[in-house]
Amino acid sequence: MKTSTQFGSILIIAGTTIGAGMLALPLAAAGLGFSLAISLMIFFWLLMSYTALLMIEVHQDAPKQVSLHGLAHHYLGKTGQWVATFAMLFLFYALCSAYIAGGSEQLSQRVSSLFETDIASPWVALVFTALVAGLVTVGTRTVDWVNRCLFAVKMLALVLMFFILLPKVDVSHLAAAPVSQGLLISALPIIFTSFGFHGSIPSVVRYLGKDTSALKRVILIGSAIPLIIYCLWLLASQGSLSQASLLANPGLSAMLLQLSTLVSHPFMSNAVNLFAELALATSFLGVSLGLFDFVQDMLKSRRITASIVTFVPPLVFAIFYPQGFILALGYAAVALVILAIYLPVAMVLVKRKQASPHGQYQVQGGKLCLALATLAGSLIIVAQFWPA
């Protein structure tokens, strides 16, 4: 297995996970206090890494080119396949629509500032979507190399943010205690969705083949990178601003303004904006790649047809009905629980009942860990609908 493709796959997992929503994590976790927030981060990383490894286990007995659509049918029959299809399309179309809306808005602002002219938003959205669609349609290798370049620049922007903010950390801010049980419950779905990358796993399996040791390495390293970055971002933001100020000004723009005022550094706002733009782009690439492979497997179609089905619906909704899919994102945690917890657990239970070749990879933990993962997913869904 080439080291280069493993490295690229790690960055696809990490790039898909680290989206622009990362910037809002300090706000979601503000009422928890730093210690509890970090503990939840580690817990959800362990949970999502565990269920991702379950996905690697179930891929062993399935064809290399199969997506989650085919996996669900292979192990769970038509009913499981329909559940997987609905959850996948609901979540990924909502995400792609949001990425198109956000990405075209950012691109439009960039073009307007450079050329001092306004361009109609639908045209910007069309061009932005066409660029990403072209990369995804060409293949995973192209997405890999473009993602590497974007990820490298994104990390440079992030390092600059940390370089500016970390010297401003006040240890007393990190000692703040949790404010209320309600804030803890409302934070659970947000932190959980920050570790969602499972829709990209079948695409990575296609890219690497069924080399279990390589896939395990890619999953664990690719998901650990976001964990480390999230923890550093919480340290920098919650350590720089007091819990009271974060709770008093819950908007993202207000928080970023406070940070810029605190550090009084001319590069701070530019670094944040650059990171947000590139985080959105790398997440869009990873999510749309996973959706493209899913659609192609579902329809058994040519790449051009799969590309049209992948990108046209979210483009239309981003232009004409943006609020509908932004509203759907409020329930992203429910769809992600189905995709990243319930389905892997159900497929593994079926697989382990079947006669598998001796020596095949099996995730440690047995039925106890499967039950605990299912319980954790159920608690996240309860938290999603818990009255504020």
For residue 357, the model assigns a pLDDT of: 60
pLDDT at 177 over 70: yes
pLDDT score of 383 more than 80: yes
Band (pLDDT 50/70/90 cuts) for residue 260 is confident
Average of per-residue pLDDT values in the chain: 87
Pick left, alpha or beta for residue 366 (phi over 0 → left; psi -120 to 50 → alpha; otherwise beta): left
Residue 326 has pLDDT above 70, yes or no: no
Please, how many CA atoms are within 13 Å of residue 209, restricted to the half-sphere of its CB?
5
Kindly report the pTM of this predicted structure. 0.89
- Between CA 13 and CA 22, with CA 17 as vertex, the angle to 5 degrees is 155
Whose CA is closest to 197, among 166, 223, 171, 158? 223
Q: For 3-385, which CATH class?
A: mainly alpha
Cα gap 249→268, rounded to integer Å:
19
Q: Is the pLDDT of residue 136 over 80?
A: yes
**Residue 333 above 70 pLDDT?**
yes
d(CA 231, CA 20): 15
pLDDT tens for residues 26-85? 888 888 888 999 999 999 999 999 999 999 999 888 777 788 888 898 899 999 999 999
Q: What is the structure's pLDDT at 39?
A: 94
Higher-confidence residue of 270 and 6: namely: 6
Cβ–Cβ under 8 Å, residues 176 and 34: yes
Q: Where are the alpha helices (DSSP H) in 60-197?
A: 68-115, 121-138, 140-165, 171-174, 181-193
Q: How far apart are CA 208 and CA 31, in angstroms?
A: 41
Helix (H) or strand (E) holding 26: helix 25-28
